[in-house]
């Protein structure tokens, strides 16, 4: 579980699960680079982490712009000579009934949750192929498997994440690049604020472990899947949900 001399990129790394993932990999000696949506939030996050004794670098590319993402990845590769782990953690949820969802609302969710993953993954794969090693991890969700009562765009996007994960795992296995996803259950993050109590409570009642998950539960799953301990695992959608079932 030692990531010394490993370069790890975490998108959506300024808060919630992403921020906890940044901290977790740093504690395991990785060189961590976080991506955020805005210059201000990235700089604020880096400064706050510095006060905790955590030194990371950060960028704020538009993840829906492949050329912009590709330029940043090249800059990172040129600086360090390798990119070892990409964690596609950025994401957005929704709980609107379908009659209240506009086409632009739906497209926004798809862009953030799946198109960004496509762009970041596509831009690092040539470097990982050159290295003949690498790990790509992505945030899925348990709703990609079970659906949810409202907010159809979110589970649809996460189902697409699962498909892309499994396909890339097959395509990239000959190059020793592993591709997996983590499907969180109910996790204590800001994203919970977008879900109403009548959606959350029945889900919690259905969790045998009887609690909401913590960001550290997901960060540790990422850590395991990125490590050599998971060297024979690829194409997996790992459910981290307290055994939640629909």
Question: What is the per-residue pLDDT for 144?
Answer: 84
Question: What is the per-residue pLDDT for 102?
Answer: 85
Closest CA relative to residue 93, chosen from 108, 72, 104? 108
CA distance 151 to 29: 39
Report H helices in the chain: 16-27, 39-51, 66-80, 103-110, 116-131, 143-146, 153-172, 197-205, 215-226
Residue 147 has pLDDT above 90, yes or no: no
Could you tell me the pTM of the whole model?
Answer: 0.92
pLDDT tier, 246 (very low <50, low <70, confident <90, very high otherwise): low
Q: Give the mean model confidence (pLDDT) for residues 236-241.
A: 94
Question: What is the per-residue pLDDT for 244?
Answer: 58
**Domains of the chain with bracketed CATH:** 7-240 (3.40.50.720)
Contact 38, 60 (CB under 8 A): yes
Q: Give the mean model confidence (pLDDT) for residues 7-34.
A: 97
- Backbone φ and ψ for 6, nearest 5 degrees, come out as -105, 135
Residue 107 has pLDDT above 70, yes or no: yes
List 77, 154, 222, 232, catalytic entry: 154
* Catalytic (active site) residue 59: no
Closest CA relative to residue 186, chosen from 218, 160, 161? 218
């Amino acid at each position: 579980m030692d990531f010394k001399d490993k370069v790890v990129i975490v998108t959506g790394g300024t808060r919630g699960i992403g921020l906890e993932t940044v901290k977790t990999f740093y504690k395991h000696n990785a060189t961590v680079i976080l991506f955020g949506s805005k210059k201000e939030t990235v700089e604020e996050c880096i400064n706050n982490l510095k006060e905790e004794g955590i030194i990371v670098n950060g960028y704020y590319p538009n993840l829906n712009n492949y050329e912009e993402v590709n330029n940043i990845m090249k800059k990172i590769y040129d600086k360090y000579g390798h990119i070892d782990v990409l964690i596609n953690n950025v994401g957005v949820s929704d709980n609107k009934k379908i009659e209240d969802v506009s086409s632009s609302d739906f497209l926004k969710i798809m862009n953030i949750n799946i198109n960004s993953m496509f762009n970041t993954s596509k831009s690092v794969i040539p470097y990982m192929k050159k290295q003949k090693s690498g790990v790509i991890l992505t945030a899925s969700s348990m709703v990609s498997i079970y659906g949810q009562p409202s907010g159809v765009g979110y589970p649809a996007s996460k189902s697409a994440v699962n498909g892309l994960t499994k396909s890339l795992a097959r395509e990239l296995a000959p190059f020793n690049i592993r591709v997996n996803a983590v499907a969180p259950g109910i996790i204590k993050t800001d994203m919970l604020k977008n879900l109403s109590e009548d959606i959350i409570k029945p889900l919690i009642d259905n969790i045998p472990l009887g609690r909401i998950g913590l960001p550290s539960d997901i960060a540790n799953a990422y850590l395991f899947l990125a490590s050599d301990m998971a060297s024979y695992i690829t194409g997996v959608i790992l459910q981290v949900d307290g055994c939640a079932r629909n």
